Structures are given as structure tokens and as C-alpha cells.
Structure 1
Amino acid sequence: MNTATTDFADMTLDELRVALAPDIAASAIFDGWNETALLAAAEMAGCDPDIARLAFPGHGAGGLAMEMIEAWITSVDQAMEAEWPAERLAALKIRERICTLVAFRLDAVADVDEAVRRALAVMAQPQNAPRALKLGWRSADIMWRLAGDTATDYNHYTKRAILAGIYSATLAVFVNDESEGKADTHAFLDRRIEGVMKFEKAKAQFLGKDRELPSLTRFLGRLRYPAR
């Protein structure tokens, strides 16, 4: 991301975090997700390092690394929404919509796959797992909403949980994929999505039977995922 002409003084801290995130990811390839990467990104972008530190104070669960990774994921979420709004996806089948959105995310980080590898390692640390799960859920929710999903019942939660799992598994393949154009990763994604389509059919048959699921549904209904 070329942020050299950006006026950071006019940004909120939330906007600044997202604006710096791609440059931080580029620096994290070499330096890891740490203050060195933050300061290198600030220099690259022409941002005052003190302002950059203010945007990423390193407080809370996961500290500085998770703050920067969350900002990067947010930047990918926003780029995906801008490139693939719901009206553009409407002409595609549901399966194609989800594949298209996940593929966009993979392409968006294809040049910084080492940063992805390092980010996955950070998110896998026990103290970061709850926050990482929330981020995965949030991205899955955005994808389903762009794909036109309006379910508010049990399906709302299962769809997002399954997609978050597929995306996480696909990233694990992605960071080790040395095939041309990450062809193996995209093939893996296609197989997983196909598996979900079969699962949805089986689930519909299962839920069509006289099964008792009200207590779980009430519990899920009380959950609140992070605001976008």
C-alpha cells in the first residue's frame, strides 16, 4: 500500500491503524510482528513514529503483535468489501461467492506469505487464541453477509463457524504452498467448499427430523460477535 501522500494527522487512530497495516505486514516478513516492523512501516509511509506508537500502544491480550495483526486483517476485510460488494457477487451462485471472497483474501496477501506464516504463529499462542477466534469469526461473518446470507437462526452460527475453520485451514496450506500461483491452495479451498455443500445437504436432512436443539439455539442467540 502506498501511503506516502497520506495525511495521517486527519485520521482517527482506527483509520491510522488500518492505513499502516499493509506496510507493517511487509516489514513483518523480515522483522516479525514487533515494534521494529511498526517503526519501519511508519518510516516507509512517512508517518511520525510517535503517532504510529500511539496507534499501536500494545495494550490488552496479545499486546502489540495482535494489535498489528488485527489491523492487517481489518485492512483485508475492507479491501474485500470494496472489491466485492454484495451487488457484484449477486450474479454468482452461493458456492462461487464464498470461493471468490476467500480467493480474494489469499491473493491480497500472496506477496507477503511469510508475514502470514508469522501471524499464524502469533495467533496460535494460547494467550492469543480467544482474540484470534473472534477475528476469524468476524471475517467469516463479513464474507457471509457479502454473499447474501440473512439467516438469523442456528444456521447463522454454523455457517460462520464452518467458514472460519475452512479459511484457517486454507491459510495453513497457503503458507507452505510452493506450487505455481498457489494452485494447490486453491484446489484445497475448492475441495473444502465442496465438502461444505455436501454437509449443508446432510444438515438439512438431519434438522428435518425430530431433533431437540432448543437449548443450544437459545445459547447461541445470546452470543455477540464484535461490531464491524
Structure 2
Amino acid sequence: MTVLKCIAVDDEPLALKLVETFIEQTPFLQLSCSCDNAVEALSLIREKQPDLVFLDINMPNLTGMELARLLQDHPVPIPKIIFTTAYNHYAIEGYKVNAVDYLLKPFSYEEFLRAANKVLQINDESLNSYQYATGDDEFFFLKVEYQWVRISLKEVSYIESLKDYVKVHFVDSDKAILSLISLKALEEKLPSTKFMRIHRSFIVSLDKINSISKNSVFIGKTEITVGEQYKEAFRTILEKWLK
């Protein structure tokens, strides 16, 4: 059974205790830790790398929404987020930071479980959306709607993240395919000698890069910016090429 590692964050002790209790009584959730402020939560997310964060929004110093925005440009894998709040006017902002759900306090265990199940479904679909094989012509399979599509590594130019999906772009075609899998999950499966994540939303095929500017790479006519947290790793690769 899939088990999701969780962090609970809330500055209200009773609300935090409730989320902890709900997590502990849910078989597919595992409480890694909890805290009462978003600043500490950021450090814990770096350390624990949870799958899911139950995150209060209204907190002093750093709000939950501000933390969620910071995580979008964070070098560690981005966890799924379920917001917990007493205010109902944050829903649109929550959508902008790709929150899976939004629990309005006071919420029941049924509502909590429904939200957690959404994350479990996304996680399981991602795990079941990929197969890989090696050989003279290395390839992998991605689940596209209701069928498995065989993709040759040498035909991929770059891969783009679109929320819970990836969009695979090809060298000799304007067509692309969409698959329900996270960029993180696909990154972990692809050979690091051939593919590299250079931005939180992009993985590129290294041998398809045509040219490089100060902060970008070009694959054909497509320009892709190298994200700040990926510059050092990319610079290391670049130095090897230029030796």
C-alpha cells in the first residue's frame, strides 16, 4: 500500500492536534513531523521531503500562502499541499500555487479523508504512468489516456511540467503528448547522463541543446531559462563540454 509522508503546519494548537489525529488514524498517511509556523516548516520540508503538507494559511511572519509560493521555486521536490483555513476567500490563490484541496475550518474527518484521497490518487496514477526499458535503442512507456505509448529517448527534445501532467516534446514533430505523472517522478527515472532538469518546469535532453546563452538554452527555436537553483549543476555540465 502506498504511504504518503506528511507534515502538519498550524499556529493554533487545537487545530494542529486535530490534523495530527486525522493523519494518524488514516492508514495511507504517515506523520513525519508537525510545527506551528511556516518558517520552521520550510526547513522541515527541506529536511524531510514529505509527499504532502497540511498547511494553515493565516500565520505570523510567513503565511502558508507565502510558503507555498516559495516552494514553487524550491530546489527540493515540491510536496502536494492541502490548505487548512478558517477563511474561504483564498481558494483562487490556492489554485495558483497548485494546491490539491482547500479545507475550510472546522472540517470533519470525512472532508479530510476526501482531500487526502485526492493526493493518493494523483500519487498512484503517477507511479502507474511510467515504464522503462533499456537496450540498443533505449525507450520508456508513458500512459497516455487509456494506452501505453512507447517513446524513444533519442526522439525526445524536452519535457515540460503542466501541474500534475508532463508534456513531452519531440525533435522532428510539432506534436507533443500529455501524461498524468509529475515531473519529479519522471526525472527520477530518466538517465541523468542524457537528461537534466534545468528549471522547475523543464527537463531537457542534453544532446538536443543547439546553443547556450548566459541564462538560457535553445533547443531548436525554443528558449528555456535555466532556473536559479539549477545553475550550478548546469554550469558543471557545461564546463565538461567546454574542456
TM-score, structure 1 length as denominator? 0.32
Q: Flag the structure with larger Rg.
A: 2
**Comparing both chains, which one has the higher relative contact order based on Cα–Cα distances under 8 Å and sequence gaps of 6 or more?**
1
Tell me which protein shows more helix as a share of its residues.
1
TM-score (norm 2): 0.30
